Amino acid sequence: MARLVMKFGGTSVADLDRIRNVARHVKREVDAGNEIAVVVSAMAGETNKLVGYCRGASALHDAREYDAVVSAGEQVTAGLLAITLQSLGVNARSWLGWQIPIRTDSAHGAARITDIPAETLVERFRQGQVAVIAGFQGLAPDNRIATLGRGGSDTSAVAIAAAIGADRCDIYTDVDGVYTTDPRIVPNARRLDKVAFEEMLEMASLGAKVLQVRSVELAMVHGVRTFVRSSFEDPEAPQVGPDGEPVGTLICDEDEIVEKQLVTGIAYSKDEAKITMRGVEDRPGVAAAIFGPLADASINVDMIVQNISEDGRTTDITFTVTTADFDRAMALIESLRSTVRMETVSGSSDVAKVSVIGIGMRSHAGVAAQAFQALAGRGINIQLITTSEIKISVLIDAAYTELAVRTLHSIYELDKT
């Protein structure tokens, strides 16, 4: 017998037929004697609709009321799944975030989980009951509903798994695992059997959409083994592949991966914009004078490159932000001219970031050179470069994104077992 958290995303619960399919997946695990908690998202498209209602009601709306509205989608799904499970003879009960309670900080709309008392859920297990939990939501210190930000149901599931000491957190989605890259770009991309927490964190933050970044952070900190699998597989069919292992990708500690590949995957993001400040006065504190206000405005800066002029008096600074923050960042930088001396400011949103990721890079030299040579051979110019122990990211013209991904996937032979 195992204790499992099963999380189902919006596409998995998009309508009643799919909710019935989810219920069959849950019943399969219950019949196997496992203790089950289920975390659900809102039906596909429902949260966007609720967000639209808030914006339509008022462009400037109270974040607490926003949370009250947009959290309703998960409430509907949890209730419907509990009803469906009951119709199949499964003892199930729905729970909202505030009923457990999943305690959060006061940042409505982007709250962080601070505590989850496990007693309520553990008691339900003793009673043989399946807890169907509305994801994406918790209880803020003001005793009002707080939501965790888009994709927050993944975070809910991993946090609950950590709180109850689950053996595994299964994330059911519309794909059957994590691939070496986007199969829509590289049809022969390969599904990975295991990915280390650190690799998945990089992949999620660099463009892979399978898991939300904060959920991977939580899983890594608390050692929650997380399994990505498809909800569209037949629940009654054997849930293992030809090798006898479950079909999907296990996100786990690096020590569980016996054979570490040099490169695990290629990620990309077109949600990038580049800003370049030229002729900036080179003096102590200038970087803080630029990036401090950006941080205060909640504008996340990613890649940063600084070049000092030959005479040492001025510097050029280039950095990237998300496309959603591009206009705000440009306006903010222009407003700094009174405190930060600069000659020109320019920007472009027609760029993309492509990243090579793999824990095997720690012990191998020449990985970056191989990537740069391959891109050059394809006539792809690199605008910015950042590296870490297990990743290399390059900023390129957005028009070359797919070519760059295919090129890098090929040179590292990721299509081969």
Residues within the annotated binding site for ATP?
A: 7-10, 173-174, 179, 184, 209-210
What does residue 161 show for φ and ψ, rounded to 5 degrees?
-60, -40
Q: Residue 398 has which token pair?
A: 């957005």
**DSSP β-ladder status, 314-321 and 304-308:** antiparallel
How would DSSP label each residue in 249-291? EEEE-GGG-SS--S--EEEEEEEEEEEEEEEEE--TTHHHHHH
Q: Which of 29, 137, 37, 146 is nearest to 82 (CA)?
A: 37
Q: How far apart are CA 68 and CA 242, in angstroms?
A: 46
Contact between 228 and 171 under an 8 Å Cβ cutoff? The reply is yes
Please state the residue numbers annotated as binding site. 7-10, 47, 74, 173-174, 179, 184, 209-210
Please state the residue numbers annotated as binding site for substrate. 47, 74
Q: Which of 40, 152, 49, 15 is nearest to 96 (CA)?
A: 40
Q: In what order do the strands lie in the sheet with 137-139?
A: 113-115, 103-104, 137-139, 145-147
What does residue 171 show for φ and ψ, rounded to 5 degrees?
-100, 105
Burial class (CB in 10 A: 0-12, 13-18, 19+), 59: exposed
